[in-house]
Amino acid sequence: MIDNETLPVEYMGGKPLCMNQYYQILSSCRIPGPKRDSIVNYAKGKKQSRHITVVHNFQFFELDVYNSDGSPLTTDQIFIQLEKIWNTSLQTNKEPIGILTTNHRNSWAKAYNNLLKDKTNKESVRTIEKSICTVCLDAPMPRVSEDIYKSRVAAQMLHGGGSRWNSGNRWFDKTLQFIIAEDGSCGLVYEHAPSEGPPIVALLDHIVEYTKKPELVRSPMIPLPMPKKLRFNITPEIKNDIEKAKQNLNMMYGHACPTYESASLRMFRLGRTDTIRSASIESLKFVQSMDSPDKSDQVKTDLLRRATQAHREYTDMAIRGNAIDRHLLGLKLQAIEDLVSIPELFMDTAYAVAMHFNLSTSQVPAKTDCVMCFGPVVPDGYGICYNPMDEHINFAISAFNSCADTNAAQMAHYLEKALLDMRSLLQSTPKSKL
């Protein structure tokens, strides 16, 4: 019916609805452009697509889903072909070429044109774009508790979990991507440009109902060709594009944001504060290790020790007047006061990002069992004040109700979980000393 565009017309309030979106979701793909993206629909061509693409461990395959006589492959046949793909793509050290599709559209457009300069790459990309849909066979995700399992699955379906997990096991420009996790969870992510949600939901409803019916067609006794692996020639420039895409994706999901901690400058007359930048390379390595099943507790403890030491060293620099933030602030204010042009450094995007403290923290010790509180310093940030006591730590966490991206209660939950995880880690390595 989709091929012939003869689906029954849907109605809303007695009025007929346009069915065109149904005919745009199969064999279609979004193409990045330097100024504007475009949508290609290969279902409209004279020669319709007969294959899907399958990706496993960042490796793409072309899988024909029709027999030579034009009949569709049976469930058993498709399973056999998927098993072949699985067994020939067990290597986990491949470049995640699909991560390029997560990048900013302008950056992806440049990388796309660079990628297609190579004939082999161009043929592989065209095969993906022309496919009916993409099936993503994902690697295992980090284990989580049952109460947040569904949230983790939702994140996996939406974005793959970041560059360390399955975000490179996608081609996000493809209209339909069906995702199957190793634990049996499954879902779909779709590119929004060709269609709104209702046609996609209707398609999923049809798939679910279809799978409930017994398959009456017997698999033909004919050998099936090995699915074709799509090759990519990764030049140094393409590898650089991949690394940039990884970094950009991780800035959106699970990133170490600019973090402010107050450092007292009362060692100096009339001294107020400077900034301890708590987010460091060492702290990031430790945090990443906590989610890595490949890292032993001893390795994690060593990374925690290094992160703690790096924090102590920066704190010592800050309280002795050797931090950077107040120095730079003084230079900026001096330029404004002297009515001279502000140095380019202060106009740079990197400086603006570095000064946007999503996490503003302060330790305010007190002998009494209390805690001070303050608000966030940016609209999409958190304010966290804490008082370390002998047997516990008091925290006050604030966020603006007007910001949909922050949630103080949720932050409190994950902060507590992180602290308990760290306690368990240290208890498992009793000789550890920070």
| Angle, CA of 29, 159 and 48, to the nearest 5° | 20
Catalytic annotation, residues: 192
| Closest C-alpha among 388, 341, 345, 158 to residue 252 | 158
Strand partners, 55: 60, 136
CA distance 203 to 7: 12
Instruction: Provide the sign of the torsion angle of the four alpha carbons 127, 128, 134, 137, taken in this order.
Output: positive
Contacts with 59 (C-beta within 8 Å, 6 or more apart), sequence order? 89, 91, 94, 229, 230
DSSP character at residue 346: G
Task: Of 155, 150, 175, give the one whose Cα is nearest residue 166.
Answer: 155
Handedness of CA 406, 407, 410, 416 (dihedral sign): positive
β-bridge partners, 41: 28
User: By the 8 A CB rule, do 63 and 131 touch?
Assistant: no
CB 179 within 8 A of CB 153: no
